[in-house]
Amino acid sequence: MATLTDKGIKDGTLIGNPNAGDYFRFMDTNNSDSLTLRDSSGVDTVYGLGVLTKMIIVNQANISTTLGGVIDSTAQYFIDGKIDCTGVNIEVPETGIAIKGYSFDISGLYCTDNSYIMFTSPVGGSGNVILDKLYLSVTGTSSKIFDLTDSTGFHALEITAVNYIDCTSLGELTNYRQGLETGTGRFGGSPSLTLSGTWIGGFVILTSITRSMSDTTTEPLFKEGTAFIMNSRFKTNMNMDLGTLQPFINFQASNFPNSGTLQLQGCEITRDFIYNPLDINVSPNINQTSLSSLWVNNNGISNTYVGGTLGLTTEITTTITTAGVYEVMNGTFASSDLQHFDNPVNGQLRNLGTTPREFKIITYVVVDGPANDILTVRLRKYNSTTLVASTIVTQSATVNNFSGGADRCTFSILGKTTLDENDYYFLDIANISGNGNLTAKIGTFTSVETR
């Protein structure tokens, strides 16, 4: 079979002698490249591939007129090698830019000047930014990769297989709709990225690694900028080793108005290669218990466990006036480990978030009452939308007649339910056999957690 080097370049005449069934390249006098199949009869069928008219090759010789010139948003800029961008700022137009390289080992854009900005916005802002298979490096004092503002608030940054090498800063992104990083790396320097303005989408960083950070920088990897609001999620599973003084994020709860949208999931976080989940400088302004946080399956930082517990601390008799009529179970309950839940009224646990909403409730109740009476305990849910309470699960037990001691029975209850924002649950109790009063005992508790 003919190889891809078999091509005609003189008067469109094919060089070489392909056999029947061969595919081969054919380049005519206009350098129009095509794929040709020679069949068993020697007839050639041409499948035109054409010249790549939507690719602009960028090299050291033409950097000032390609990426340094007026950007053609209908073309992809291909980085042919490692290119010094000294004196060149890449102004991203409202119509956007696409840049690609061979790989982050072969293709790169770099500058060592002080106060240098690689990507800038014109008056009116920029569009989509697509970066793929290259490295970016700015190492001068006060230099940064990005200073971009979205022209409409509906554009995206998509960054794939890009390494940031020894960067002084990654700079600032303002009012973009969303960002996506996959397969990125941060190596050396202090590559802090500031997010500013309102992001109506989210920012997701997947399969990303951070190593060899500056041990003197106090700038976080991701930083709250001016009026930063993330209306969707910030999610990452980064594998990072932070510098000695470096935070990972400095976000706060007010940056995330929707519950559970600061999502650290599957992260590996060390500082100087040491795991320390009690290191508050990793995230100094927000922790795993915040309503904004949903931190799960992480190493090196505490995780979020949505739910909480009520435990009985003071025994108070529940007065029963009518057999079979339920009364709210009396007693003083103390709350503990509340995450996305609060305890608005004694004996109630209320969900403050919108996600998750599916829960299991584990309850253990010890009750003193009249010997041989049948008692029933219910888990009840109050729906904050319909303003109606409904029963989750009911369990009955008979009061044991203990010789020489208090007569009592126990309940071990597992309930499953949905709790939407501001829904809460509570316990009530009935004496089915009569109107004898009942007293919940110390050791009674109820606990809610995600299913």
Examine the pLDDT at 3 and tell me if it is beyond 90: no
SS3 assignment, position 253: helix
C-alpha to C-alpha distance for 107 and 228, rounded to whole angstroms: 33
Residue 215 vs residue 46, higher pLDDT:
215
| pLDDT confidence tier of residue 18, bands split at 50, 70 and 90 | low
**CATH fit for domain 307-450, picks 1.25.40.420, 2.60.120.40, 3.20.20.70, 3.40.50.980:** 2.60.120.40
Q: Is the peptide bond before 356 cis (omega within 30 degrees of 0)?
A: yes
Banded model confidence at residue 25, pLDDT cuts 50, 70, 90: very low
Q: What is the pLDDT of residues 180-239, one digit of tens each?
A: 999 999 999 999 999 999 999 999 999 999 999 999 999 999 999 999 999 999 999 999
pLDDT in tens, 244-276: 999 999 999 999 999 999 999 999 999 999 999
Half-sphere exposure of 129 (CA within 13 A, CB side): 28
First to last CA, the chain: 60
268-316, pLDDT tens digit by residue? 999 999 999 999 999 999 999 999 999 999 999 999 999 999 999 999 9
The rounded distance, in Å, linking the Cα atoms of 449 and 308 is 7
The predicted structure's pLDDT at residue 13 = 47
Per-residue model confidence (pLDDT) at position 5 = 35
Tokens of 363: 């309850």
The mean pLDDT of 173-183, rounded to a whole number, is 98
Q: How many C-beta neighbours within 10 Å does residue 125 have? A: 19
Confidence of residue 6 (pLDDT cuts 50, 70, 90): very low
329 Ramachandran zone, left/alpha/beta (phi>0; psi -120 to 50): beta
Strand arrangement, sheet containing 222-224: 90-91, 117-120, 144-149, 171-174, 193-196, 222-224
What's the pLDDT at 406? Answer: 84
Collapsing DSSP states into helix, strand and coil, what is residue 33? strand
What's the pLDDT tens digit per position in 368-378? 999 999 999 99
DSSP-based three-state secondary structure for 282: helix
DSSP state of 254: G
Mean per-residue pLDDT, 164-185: 98
Q: What is the pLDDT of residues 93-130, one digit of tens each?
A: 999 999 999 999 999 999 999 999 999 999 999 999 99
Read off the tokens for 270: 């060390």
Supply 305's token pair. 């466990």
Q: What is the pLDDT of residue 402?
A: 81
pLDDT by residue (tens digit) across 69-102?
999 999 999 999 999 999 999 999 999 999 999 9
How far is the C-alpha of 165 from the C-alpha of 147, rounded, in Å? 18
Antiparallel, parallel or unpaired: β 332-339 and 307-314:
antiparallel
What is the per-residue pLDDT for 36? 54
**Mean confidence (pLDDT) of the chain:** 91
Q: Averaged over 423-435, what is the pLDDT? A: 96
Average of per-residue pLDDT across 427-442: 96
Tell me, what's the pLDDT at 74? 95
**Higher pLDDT among residues 231 and 33, named by residue:** 231
CB contact at 8 A, 230 and 260: no
Does residue 8 register a pLDDT over 60? no
Between strands 445-450 and 307-314, the pairing is antiparallel
Residue 399, pLDDT score = 96
| Rg of the chain (C-alpha set) | 33
Question: Which of 250, 247, 271 is CA-nearest to residue 262?
Answer: 250
C-alpha to C-alpha distance for 312 and 191, rounded to whole angstroms: 50
Q: Which residues contact 415 (CB under 8 A, 6 or more apart)?
A: 360, 361, 363, 379, 392, 393
Examine the pLDDT at 165 and tell me if it is beyond 60. Answer: yes
What's the pLDDT score for residue 52? 65
Q: Which is higher by pLDDT, 57 or 26?
A: 57
Q: Which of 416, 448, 414 is nearest to 333 (CA)?
A: 448
Closest CA to 445 of 333, 316, 318, 327: 333
pLDDT, one tens digit per residue, over 303-340 is 999 999 999 999 999 999 999 999 999 999 999 999 99
Rounded mean pLDDT of 374-401? 96
Residue type, 450: T
- Domain chopping of the chain, boundaries: 1-51, 55-296, 307-450
